[in-house]
Chain A
Amino acid sequence: GEDVEQSLFLSVREGDSSVINCTYTDSSSTYLYWYKQEPGAGLQLLTYIFSNMDMKQDQRLTVLLNKKDKHLSLRIADTQTGDSAIYFCAEKQGGSYIPTFGRGTSLIVHP
């Protein structure tokens, strides 16, 4: 069956880069997503990458996809205190419209 794994916590200093990692198991994944959840709120779509891409950049966010290793990462440049949140990785398999979510990584940004 499919599974999406993320580490639970990441702590960084303000101004540094953050790298949040995710691994998935299903090679038929077509789209991979990163969502951000601030305290007490719903999930907000940050970015996504199609499976035939290796990298996608959007302002401070860079997504890297290694299909061979089934590894996805989200890099946040110049991390700010407002970036403190839970980040969820999700994959969508071909033929399915329901994504599989990881458990989320809590990013803590300290001064």
Chain B
Amino acid sequence: DGGITQSPKYLFRKEGQNVTLSCEQNLNHDAMYWYRQDPGQGLRLIYYSQIVNDFQKGDIAEGYSVSREKKESFPLTVTSAQKNPTAFYLCASSILSGQGNSPLHFGNGTRLTVT
């Protein structure tokens, strides 16, 4: 079955440490996205990528970094510069279609807790 896999489901880190969240898809989608979800704030876009070796900042990119070395993979690193990293992180993918239907497909999320 095609889908998006995020790992791990729960992650605990000490303040000051960088941490990398994994996202893999086998849907053959060109576009991939990272969102952050906080209670009552909906989804906020961190980074997105349309093609391998290229990515763009979203609305809240500060303190985060990404890479897109393979079409299937889009890992997110939460750096020590991120002031409030505890949140639920969602990865998504989609086809690239400006005029056509291109819903996002989501993974099951990673809950990061930093103490």
Q: How many A residues touch B, CB cutoff 8 Å?
A: 26
Point out the residue from B43, B45, B97, B105 that lies within 8 Å of A97, measured CB to CB.
B97
Chain A residue numbers with a CB within 8 Å of B108 are 40-42
Contact of A42 with B98 in the complex, beta carbons under 8 Å: no
Point out the residue from B90, B94, B103 that lies within 8 Å of A42, measured CB to CB.
B90
Whether B42 is near chain A, meaning CB under 8 Å from some CB there, is: yes
Q: How many B residues touch A, CB cutoff 8 Å?
A: 29
* B-facing residues in A85-102 (Cβ within 8 Å): 88, 90, 92, 94-99, 101-102
Contact of A43 with B104 in the complex, beta carbons under 8 Å: yes
Contact of A97 with B31 in the complex, beta carbons under 8 Å: yes
Contact of B103 with A44 in the complex, beta carbons under 8 Å: no
Number of A-B contacts defined by CB within 8 Å: 61
Q: Distance (Å) between the CB of A31 and the closest chain B CB?
A: 5
Q: Of residues A30, A33, A92, A104, which shows the largest number of chain B Cβ atoms within 10 Å of its Cβ?
A: A92
* B-facing residues in A54-80 (Cβ within 8 Å): none
Contact of B42 with A102 in the complex, beta carbons under 8 Å: yes
Chain A residue numbers with a CB within 8 Å of B48 are 98
Contact of B105 with A45 in the complex, beta carbons under 8 Å: yes
CB within 8 Å for A101 and B98 given contacts A40-B109, A42-B108, A48-B103? no
Point out the residue from B50, B104, B105 that lies within 8 Å of A99, measured CB to CB.
B104
Interface residues of A (CB under 8 A from B): 8, 30-31, 33, 35, 40-45, 48, 50, 88, 90, 92, 94-99, 101-104
User: Can you list 22 A-B contacts (CB < 8 A)?
Assistant: A8-B40, A30-B99, A31-B101, A31-B103, A40-B108, A41-B108, A42-B6, A42-B108, A43-B104, A45-B104, A48-B101, A94-B98, A95-B98, A95-B99, A96-B98, A97-B97, A97-B98, A99-B104, A101-B42, A101-B43, A103-B41, A103-B42
Interface residues of B (CB under 8 A from A): 4, 6, 31, 33, 40-43, 45, 48, 50, 90, 92, 94-99, 101-109, 111
Task: Beyond the given A42-B6, A97-B96, please list 4 additional residue pairs across the A-B interface where CB-CB is below 8 A.
Answer: A31-B102, A43-B43, A50-B101, A97-B102
